[in-house]
Structure 1
Amino acid sequence: MAQPHPFFLLLLALLCLHLPSFANSYLNAQLTKAYSETLKLKLANSRTIVQKELRQNEKNAVSLLLANYNDFLDICTEQDQTELDKLIEAQEVRLDKLDDLKEKSVWVAYAKAEIRAQLAMSELLFGNRVAAAWDFRKAYLQFQSNSRKYPEFVPNRKTLGVMQVLLGSVPDEYKWFLNIVGLGGNTAAGLLNLRQAATEPNLFQDEAKLLHALLLQLLDEDNARSTLPQISALAKAQSDNLLFNFVAVLLHKKAKKADVALQFYQTRPTSGNYSSFPYMHHMAADLYLFRGDYDASVKENRYFLAQHKGKHYLKAANFKLYLAYWLSNHKPQAKWHFQQVRQVGATITEEDKYADNYVSRNEEPNRYLLLARLHSDGGYFDKALKEVNKLEITKETPLPVRAEYYYRKARIYHGEQQIIPAIKNYEKTITASADEPLYFSAHASLQLGYIYQQQQKNDLARKYYLQAQNYSNHAYKNSIQAKAKLALSTLP
């Protein structure tokens, strides 16, 4: 019998040395299908596939990771308080199982980092900030370790990039915590990592595209519009994907394109195979409110309140119901929802904080300014300008009304790309706001920063970004400071 060549014996020995590292964890066609179903928010379908795979091999890190994706997205979309403890415990059990594996492979290392990051975000969503911070730290360090050990593994760049950008945007008042836990962000490196994960073929490429678009929106609302064609194409190409549809609705809403956002919302997949995702109805209620369809707005927010099992956006939904009823002259219903704002939910999200702060002042809105704001937020700038121009400003006009008047005009002109009158009215906003705890001056400063950065007047941009950060006593403090800090990090 012929003896094999020594070269083949050596090759076989080398392969055997590496086999144990990858013996348990692998990605196959069924798990690829499960991930696809997860991204579509067909979570029950995905769970069925993943559980079958786990029964065949309970030590497959890929199966454990995809099982966690399902629980994490369940928490994000359903926000069921009664299920929270169970879902968080399941994530912790998976991390223990991964720690017990003797296998040393890229999939085990990646699953540990990704599940830890999802656990941190689950905890943060429900207000457990201390636990979230420490799990975030562990995840970040694991991702960094992965990037050194497995530099060619592109999926690792996806969440690492997100974390680097988020850490780079932490407001200065929380820097002390980053110093304690030994973390620091890098916005430019984060965006580069995320862009690579979004452009190079890999299993998680479409997910990276969504995250990249969302972070660009956080970084600069105007420049983020460049991602709309790509996100629209993704949502249209996979019309059965509810997550892609959600991001398309969200980003077009943020870009003040309410009609396009509503088109996506109205064509979303709705069969019983999908997560119920009540928050989408709350978004739709805003879109209808922007264009003055108050009955449709009421219907969507009432449906949201009936289906939503979480504590977020309850104040905001009641506040929007108050506005819809007030604008349509249904005063008893408006009064009831106005009172509900103080009695339900929590003040964790900025939407809820704004609603709570608004009703605490116990003031009726100025109809012209309210309509100007709503129409402008939807991109109906002609209607918005007609409303704001009905308001006459005099020396006796209260300071908050005067400040908002200039701010609304600035936003309308900015939306219409009339930059010179936009700048003039942003400057008037800052002057009129004085030292009042209003968000108009902070947001006006941020927008001036964006304008001057686009004009490559970087010194002026820096001045206004820093000014935006200095305003601290208003409802949108965290998001404006985060956006200003992110923008500053992009200046040369």
Structure 2
Amino acid sequence: MAIAHPFFLCLLLSSPVAATSVFNQTVSRAYSETIKLRISNGRTIIRQELQANPTNAAAMLVENQQDFLTLAVEQNPKRFGALLKAQENRLEQLASSEERSAWSDFALAEIRLQVALSKLLQDQKLAAAWDLRQAYLQYLSNARRYPNFLPNKKSLGALQVLIGSVPDSYKFFLNIIGMKGDIKTGMANLHTASSRENPFQEEAKLMYGLILHLVDQDRQQDAATMVYTLATEKPDNLLFSFVALHILKKNKQSDLAHTLDKRRPTGNAYISFPYLHHMAADLYLYKGDFENSIRENKVFLQQHKGAHYIKAAHYKLYLASWLNQQQQQAIYHRNLIRQVGKSVVEEDSYAQRYTEQQIEPNRHLLLARLQSDGGYYREALAVLQQMKLNNRMEQEVIAEYYYRKARIWHGLDEPTQAKQHYEQAILACENSTLYFAPNAALQLGYLYQQAHQIELARHYFMKALSYKGHAYKNSIDGKAKLALQTL
């Protein structure tokens, strides 16, 4: 890569300064507490090291991670300014340091990435994009300077995969600004960092499982098992429990997720994590335990300081109340969806769109959807068997009926029945912008991919991309394009 300014040439030719940064025992203990989300304990320990050695980049990195995790978990807008300013001060201190070592350069990249993610959490997209680019280029530089430094492979690998999975329409822009991803290379870097001993090995394992679940449809169960094992081996690690809960929930393994949620670590030593209550509310909702679902989402709303997932929580409170025959409460929460929070994350956007439709749900379809989302396929199928179609039903109801049945048969590993019902869902959506058709095409692509019928898989992924104007255009297109890359 061309050197952008003579300053960098001077830097490269200058005499190296003796490295003072080291990931010593004190830093290791502070990092261990931090990654468990026992942030207060971690802060106490890392201050000891920074008082003794204020230029130790490894210690500065752990201190920065404490600020970043606090911001990401709490999402408290009142603390954002101070936490971001502290991160930027560390970044400036590292950038102006004369030390050039594996730890100082890695800390520079890692803190830059955490600054970018912090800004993204506050919807500062342009500023976040600039910092993300700078972080990525620093990781690449580190890889050339210190090819055997395993912590750098962890973060570089994750970025390579995520950038490599960006839809084609954005890749031209990424290439212009010097960010070229590569899923295969990225996964290899992550695997190396997660399989060989280094201070960040367990964090690399966590990231490897999370990204494997995201990019490889065929290995989602492997990813779930990997992260669940990590969480059970480290029962005092709240971050590991959270990621395992997220993946198990996505994998529709609700009973296992519910068990893990009951066993997750608690206590005053851990940072407040209200979103876990929102996740638990979903697990109860899937199971049909509406009272506990309502209770958990109310706890979430009482404790959460951020603007995200507020609409989603009220939407789930509406569903649980409506299904529990509490009509007045259901109306109250439905009316609040429009008035509170932001429509940035997908859950909130879905809740907002739902209120705009002004349609009361079909009880059979709603129950079947929730049970299917939780992995309770037999129960969901039994509910749909009670529903009789007729010509007076709206197109959306008929389309969703076939789509839900397809997803249930898919979950029960009955591909013939699943394919038949996905095709019926596509036909039922004809001349509409209902998202059931593109999603059905996407799922058919996955089924044919698993059956090694590559041309049919390609046909259906392309078909999923061909639909215009539906509610999940970006999400479905992204998944279809990623699947086409894996072909």
TM-score, shorter chain, exceeding 0.5 = yes
| Cα distance, 1:180 vs structure 2 | 4.3
Report the CA distance shift for 1:27/1:179 in structure 2 as closer, same or farther (over 3 A).
Answer: closer
Alignment of 1:448 onto 2:435: no
Report the counterpart of residue 88 of structure 2 in structure 1.
Answer: 92
> What are the Cα deviations for residues 114-161 of structure 1, in whole angstroms up to 9, with x where unaligned?
111111111112211111111111111111111111111111111111
2:367 maps to which of 366, 371, 383: 371
Whole-angstrom CA distance in 2 between matches of 1:224 and 1:365: 31
Whole-angstrom CA distance in 1 between matches of 2:475 and 2:111: 26
User: For the Cα contact (< 8 Å) 1:218–1:483, is it kept in 2?
Assistant: no
Report the counterpart of residue 313 of structure 2 in structure 1.
Answer: 317
Whole-angstrom CA distance in 1 between matches of 2:209 and 2:258: 19
Report the counterpart of residue 477 of structure 1 in structure 2.
Answer: 473
| Cα distance, 1:240 vs structure 2 | 0.7
Report the counterpart of residue 77 of structure 1 in structure 2.
Answer: 73
| Cα distance, 1:394 vs structure 2 | 2.5
User: For the Cα contact (< 8 Å) 2:167–2:482, is it kept in 1?
Assistant: no
2:397 maps to which of 401, 424, 431: 401
| Superposition pairs of residues 132-147 of structure 1, within 5 angstroms | 132-147=128-143
2:457 maps to which of 450, 456, 461: 461
Q: Structure 1: state its 5+ residue gaps.
A: 1-16
1:277 maps to which of 263, 266, 273: 273
User: For the Cα contact (< 8 Å) 2:206–2:230, is it kept in 1?
Assistant: no
User: 3-state DSSP class of the match of 1:155?
Assistant: helix
> What are the Cα deviations for residues 390-447 of structure 1, in whole angstroms up to 9, with x where unaligned?
2222333211111111110011001110011111111222222224333222222221
1:21 maps to which of 18, 21, 27: 18
User: For the Cα contact (< 8 Å) 2:406–2:417, is it kept in 1?
Assistant: yes
1:108 maps to which of 97, 104, 107: 104
User: 3-state DSSP class of the match of 1:59?
Assistant: coil
RMSD: 1.6
- Higher relative contact order, chain-length normalized (CA < 8 Å, sep 6+): 1
Whole-angstrom CA distance in 2 between matches of 1:344 and 1:368: 29
> What are the Cα deviations for residues 351-389 of structure 1, in whole angstroms up to 9, with x where unaligned?
001000011101101110000000011111111001112
| Superposition pairs of residues 412-451 of structure 1, within 5 angstroms | 412-451=408-447
Report the counterpart of residue 152 of structure 2 in structure 1.
Answer: 156
Whole-angstrom CA distance in 2 between matches of 1:239 and 1:133: 36
| Superposition pairs of residues 1-400 of structure 1, within 5 angstroms | 20-22=17-19, 24-400=20-396
Report the CA distance shift for 1:339/1:113 in structure 2 as closer, same or farther (over 3 A).
Answer: same
User: 3-state DSSP class of the match of 2:338?
Assistant: helix
Whole-angstrom CA distance in 1 between matches of 2:65 and 2:367: 41
The aligned amino acid for 2:370 is L
Give the alignment's TM-score, normalised by structure 1. 0.93
User: 3-state DSSP class of the match of 2:150?
Assistant: coil
Give the alignment's TM-score, normalised by structure 2. 0.94
User: For the Cα contact (< 8 Å) 2:237–2:265, is it kept in 1?
Assistant: yes
Whole-angstrom CA distance in 2 between matches of 1:86 and 1:474: 40
Report the CA distance shift for 1:451/1:18 in structure 2 as closer, same or farther (over 3 A).
Answer: farther
Whole-angstrom CA distance in 1 between matches of 2:150 and 2:353: 44
| Cα distance, 1:179 vs structure 2 | 4.3
| Cα distance, 1:484 vs structure 2 | 2.0
Report the CA distance shift for 1:161/1:179 in structure 2 as closer, same or farther (over 3 A).
Answer: same
| Cα distance, 1:229 vs structure 2 | 2.5
User: For the Cα contact (< 8 Å) 1:217–1:224, is it kept in 2?
Assistant: yes
> What are the Cα deviations for residues 286-340 of structure 1, in whole angstroms up to 9, with x where unaligned?
0000010000000000000000000000000000000000000100100000011
With 193-202 and 431-440 compared, the bigger mean Cα shift is at: 431-440
Whole-angstrom CA distance in 2 between matches of 1:333 and 1:146: 56
Whole-angstrom CA distance in 1 between matches of 2:476 and 2:39: 34
Whole-angstrom CA distance in 2 between matches of 1:384 and 1:490: 32
Report the counterpart of residue 4 of structure 1 in structure 2.
Answer: none
> What are the Cα deviations for residues 67-93 of structure 1, in whole angstroms up to 9, with x where unaligned?
111111111111101111111111111
Whole-angstrom CA distance in 2 between matches of 1:200 and 1:83: 37
The aligned amino acid for 1:349 is V
With 155-164 and 437-446 compared, the bigger mean Cα shift is at: 437-446
